[in-house]
Structure 1
Amino acid sequence: MTVEHSRIRNQPLPLLLQRLSSATLALDYGAAVIRVRSRLEDFARDLRQVYGAFAFLDDAPFADFHTEVCAGQGFRAFIRPQSRFLIDGAQPFDPFPLPQALPHFEWGANWCIAQRFNQYVLLHAGALALGDQALIMAAPPGSGKSTLTAAMMLRGFRLLSDEFGVLCPRSGRLWPMLKPVALKNRAIELIRDYSTDAIIGPVYQGTRKGDVAHLAPDDVSVDARRLPGRPRLVLFPAYRDGAALTIRRLPGEEAFARLAFNSFNYGILGQGSFKIVADVIESCPAFALEYSRLDEAIESVRTMLLESSTMAPAA
């Protein structure tokens, strides 16, 4: 079977649902593998759209997490149908409305990674690469990080992750944790209009984070999900409506504090996380980037990444 024919998007929905029902479907994100069980047909249909480029794995021998997305129980299953997310048979948070089963799974998978994947330093960051030259874009929610990450993938960058900068403490490499990019509210139509190549799943209205849709990772990024990148550039992006592009080089001390703050498990890993974050800041120039026009920002980032190997870190 060719790579193209083995992708999830090319499988009949009944076959995909059969695999999901028997928990033999595994999603390979690169740094982690998640096995998922579900008997929900709408969930299977939505998953096929946003995970379309992923391999249709046949009962992978190992998975880091074993999850399930299932319908609610009791009278509520009939009055207000719900979806439940389970990890190892336990339900870590409240049910979602049944039509929101896919975002429920996405948030659940993110929760699993953030809470339990402590063999790596996990930055709250977008991560992309040109070849093996990688950049880390760390920012708090609402900064426009996901929108910029999505647009960069649609302009030829290899997507490593929208949510997790996965730093290996042994090699210092940045590993893919490749999942669909979560777009919220205005960003959905912005990215839909930005590129005809954008494959965006259903819009889930009125979720706990507003209206949400997911941008599917492209084939190139999925096929390279086992290839780590070498960190070369650190950015702290911020979208400001109507703002002119501004780029400010950050001193190492400020960049270190910002990057450590945008970490899921910095405090848990202690000295190990201090060392790897310090190594990144020592070897990578860091910039604060304010922007309003995507293409202008992307071309500036492309230039900075290509030039970063020749830059000395700021004092």
Structure 2
Amino acid sequence: MAVLNPRLRELQFHEIFQQCRAGHLAIVYGAATVRVRSSLKVFAQSLQSTYGAFRLPQSSQAKFADYHVEVTRPRNPRAFIRSQSQFRIDGIQPFDPFPLANALPLFEWGVNWCFGQRANQYVLLHAGVLAKGKRAVIMAAPPGSGKSTLAAAMMLRGFRLLSDEFGVLRPETGDLIAMLKPVALKNQSVEVIRAFSDKAVIGPLFTGTRKGDVAHLAANDASADAVHHPARPALVIFPAFQAGAALDSHRLPGKDAFAHLAFNSFNYHLLGAIGFEAIANVIAACPAYALHYSDLDAAISQIDRLLDKASEGTSVDAI
């Protein structure tokens, strides 16, 4: 039986910090590997808490990284007046500095930026992806729809999380691969998920960021251990949270589902025919539903039901 490398939470903090400071810490997300350099203790502490389920990569995996990033203090005069952190990739700084205390959300958004800008070998859907076995649910929606909150809740109820931000679709095979990161919870969603499950491991709360108050839900062990396992699209959901609303779902015609999914893509317009064919194949293979909800458990039960029916090849009427 193969010996598994330790999880980040199983290491002593000084080990994590030494690897960060030396630029040796590699994080394997599935679709990408990122090598991190940082001498900021506050960042290393946040990283260990929110990436605790991730394992140190095997030596063969650690040799190559898609992105080499740094989270450091600026060296300009303002840095002596107000403590700040900056994100760099290959020596380039794509964002203005953040407060030092907000180094983790800066890193998270920086990795998203790197992947969204450079991973055009994939069709990148703005979607959460979760799976049961090899069957994947694609949840595509614009910001503010409750997509990340629902993805977090589904993981806490037994789904495997592949991503809450990027639906990474391989056009040559039609399967979905993980881009597993902590789930970014914003504003009221933080307390909603904290109350939803005592299994939720939530990192520190960062107040007053450009997206409001943000905290990160750590991926669970099952999701981290399956980071290299692809899944086949089986169901497409377009979720929308409405406070106090009764649960409602209805199936969308293929042309509407295609338009919604293509609209919720980071790089559809860049890929041309490749993107068109890949998304058309998903819609041809998967029933698509609009889902309006206010209760998370009711929404998850309905998604379970729709997924089972999709696997049986039968249609489900609106409820």
How far apart are 1:309 and its partner, in Å?
Answer: 2.2
Note the C-alpha offset of 1:223.
0.2
CA-to-partner distance for each residue in 1:34-86, whole Å, 9 max, x for gaps?
Answer: 11110000100000000001012366111111111001222211211111000
Deviations 1:235-255 (A, max 9, x none): 000000000000010000000
Q: Which runs of 5+ in 1 are unaligned?
A: none
Aligned counterparts of 1:34 and 1:230: Cα–Cα separation in 2: 25
Look up the match of 1:34: 34
Structure 1 equivalent of residue 215 of structure 2: 213
User: Which residue of the partner structure matches residue 274 of structure 1?
Assistant: 276
CA contact (8 A) 1:72 1:82 kept: yes
Q: Conserved in 1, the CA contact under 8 Å of 2:124 and 2:268?
A: yes
Instruction: Indicate the residue corresponding to 1:304 in structure 2.
Output: 306
SS of alignment partner, residue 94 of structure 2: coil
Q: How does 1:278-293 map to 2 (within 5 A)?
A: 278-293=280-295
1:152 alignment partner in structure 2: 154
Q: How does 1:107-146 map to 2 (within 5 A)?
A: 107-146=109-148
- Aligned counterparts of 1:128 and 1:58: Cα–Cα separation in 2: 25
- Residue 310 of structure 1 deviates from its aligned partner by 2.9
Render the CA deviation track for 1:210-235: whole Å, top value 9, x for unaligned.
00000000000000000000000000
Q: 1:92 & 1:225 partners in 2: Cα distance? A: 28
Which deviates more from structure 2 when the two are superposed, residues 152-161 or residues 17-26?
17-26
- Mapped to 2, the partners of 1:57 and 1:258 lie a distance apart of 37
User: What amino acid maps onto 1:311 in structure 2?
Assistant: G
1:133-190 deviation line (CA, Å, top 9, x unaligned)? 0010000000000000000000000000000000001110011100000000000000
Q: Deviations over 1:1-47 (max 9, x none)?
A: 954x7000011111111101111111001111111110000100000
Structure 1 residues 62 and 91, CA, compared in 2 at 3 Å: closer, same or farther?
Answer: same
Secondary structure at the aligned position of 2:229 is classed as: coil
Distance across 1 between alignment mates of 2:178 and 2:309: 22
The separation in 1 between residues aligned to 2:18 and 2:272, in whole angstroms, is 43
SS at match of 1:142: coil
Identity %: 59
Amino acid at match of 2:16: L
* Partner residue in 1 for 2:191: 189
CA distance in 1, matches of 2:72, 2:57: 21
Alpha-carbon distance change, 90 to 58 in structure 1, aligned in 2, over 3 angstroms = farther
Contact 2:309–2:315 (CA under 8 A) maintained in structure 1: no
* Superposition TM-score, scaled by structure 2 size: 0.96
TM (norm. structure 1) is 0.97
Q: Is the 8 A contact 2:135 2:234 kept in 1?
A: yes
Deviates more, 1:55-64 or 1:135-144: 55-64
Query: C-alpha separation between the residues in 2 aligned to 1:277 and 1:75?
Result: 49
What is the DSSP-based 3-state SS (H/G/I as helix, E as strand, rest coil) of the residue aligned with 1:150? Answer: helix
Give 3-state SS (helix, strand or coil) of 1:136's partner: strand
Structure 1 residue 202: deviation in Å?
A: 0.1
Show the 5 A alignment for 1:48-197: 48-57=48-57, 60-197=62-199
1:313 Cα deviation after fit: 8.1
Deviations 1:97-134 (A, max 9, x none): 11000000000000001010001000000000000000
Is 1:229 the counterpart of 2:231? The answer is yes
Contact 1:67 1:85 in 2 (8 A): yes
Are 2:260 and 1:258 equivalent residues in the alignment? yes
Paired positions, count: 313
Q: Match of 1:198?
A: 200
CA distance in 1, matches of 2:315, 2:234: 11
Partners of 1:58 and 1:10 in 2: CA distance: 16
Shift of 1:311: 3.1
Contact 2:102 2:206 in 1 (8 A): yes
